[in-house]
Structure 1
Amino acid sequence: MEVFGLVGPLYRRVQRKIEQDAPEQDLSVGVRAVLDLLREHGPMTVPQMGQAQSLSRQFVQRMVNDAAARGFTETIPNPAHQRSSLIRLTDAGLAAITAVTAREHALLRRVGGGLTDAEVTACVRVLSRMLELFDDVEVTGTPPR
């Protein structure tokens, strides 16, 4: 539980700092998450993004709408399901998420304490395993089936 006690505030502070340092981009945490997910995985449906991020479909849809209004994403036909379009990054969206992540990486490289690559790798491994432990948690609040 100590890890969760540190990760939550750390995540929120890092996101606030990045938003403060990049007012020209004016990316909310939600839009940033959508852009990052699409950059990493390619075109996805809103329900797929919600599931991948453990967020409600309605929240993800609002973030996708915000991103689309700014020209960062676009809707394309989904060959697998006509009623659920795919969302993909535009060139502007790719440029925006690339710039934001470059700033994030530069900021986080300033972490001191002489951390080794092995320590960072171990930390990522621990957090990944903790995330896997809660893979069955439903976002909607309904019990898993």
Structure 2
Amino acid sequence: MNDTDRPLPPDELGHRLTDVFDLVGPLYRRALRKVEQGEPVEGASVGVRSVLDLLRKQGDMTVPQMSRIQALSRQFVQRMVNEAAAHGWVEIVPNPAHQRSSLIRITEEGRSLIATVLGREHTLNRQVGGDLTDAEVRACVRVLTEMLKTFDHVDVD
């Protein structure tokens, strides 16, 4: 095992992960701007896009569940759900497990919209250069997942 294959000591890891944060912020903001450029055509904000994609992946959920998963305030998620419902992209249905917290369900119109948005994002992601390998992408996902776990306990409300 060479030095690059050994786990970093905590102090060095902290400095290296700062480099990651320094890239993630601008990347996130630029990606949001690019996604929002499609908003006039599709009508979905980045927040609504996140709600629709989560419902597409996970199925029916409550606002508090979506809030926890996305690390966003319940109030923000509720506004996004309301916006999506006003466009007919989600519907609010009774929750047999909890009377006061309705389930949010994606509609066929919502599925069609998120498929369009994801298709556009996929086209953009295909343009990423650097001859990246599967191992490099897996490593990146692993690093970001570990970083995310560190902040799972942060309360957003």
Flag as ranges the 4+ runs of structure 1 deviating above 4 A: none
Alignment of structure 1 residues 130-141 onto 2, 5 Å? 130-140=147-157
Query: 1:78 — aligned with what?
Result: 95
1:20 to 37, 61, 64: 37
**Are 1:111 and 2:128 counterparts?**
yes
Q: Given residue 72 of structure 1, which amino acid in structure 2 is its aligned partner?
A: W
* Larger Rg over CA atoms: 2
1:30 maps to amino acid: G
Q: CA deviation at 1:2?
A: 1.4
The amino acid across from 1:106 in the alignment is T
8 Å contact kept, 2:35–2:46: no
Cα distance between partner residues in 1 of 2:111 and 2:137: 27
Structure that is richer in helix per residue: 2
Partner in structure 1 of residue 23 of structure 2: 6
Tell me the alpha carbon deviations over residues 87-133 of structure 1, each in whole angstroms, 9 at most, x when there is no partner: 01000000011110111011011001111111111101110111011
Give the equivalent residue in structure 2 for 1:63.
Answer: 80
Amino acid at match of 1:37: L
Gaps of 5+ in 2: 1-17
Q: Percent identity?
A: 66
Q: SS at 1:24's partner residue?
A: helix
What is the alpha-carbon root mean square deviation over aligned residues?
1.0
Count of paired positions = 140
Assess if the C-alpha contact under 8 Å between 2:39 and 2:45 holds in 1.
no
TM-score by length of 2: 0.86
Distance 1:112 1:16 in 2: 20
Deviation of the 1:19 alpha carbon: 1.7
CA contact (8 A) 1:76 1:87 kept: yes
How far apart, in 1, do the equivalents of 2:83 and 2:43 lie? 11
Maintained 8 Å contact 1:19/1:26: no
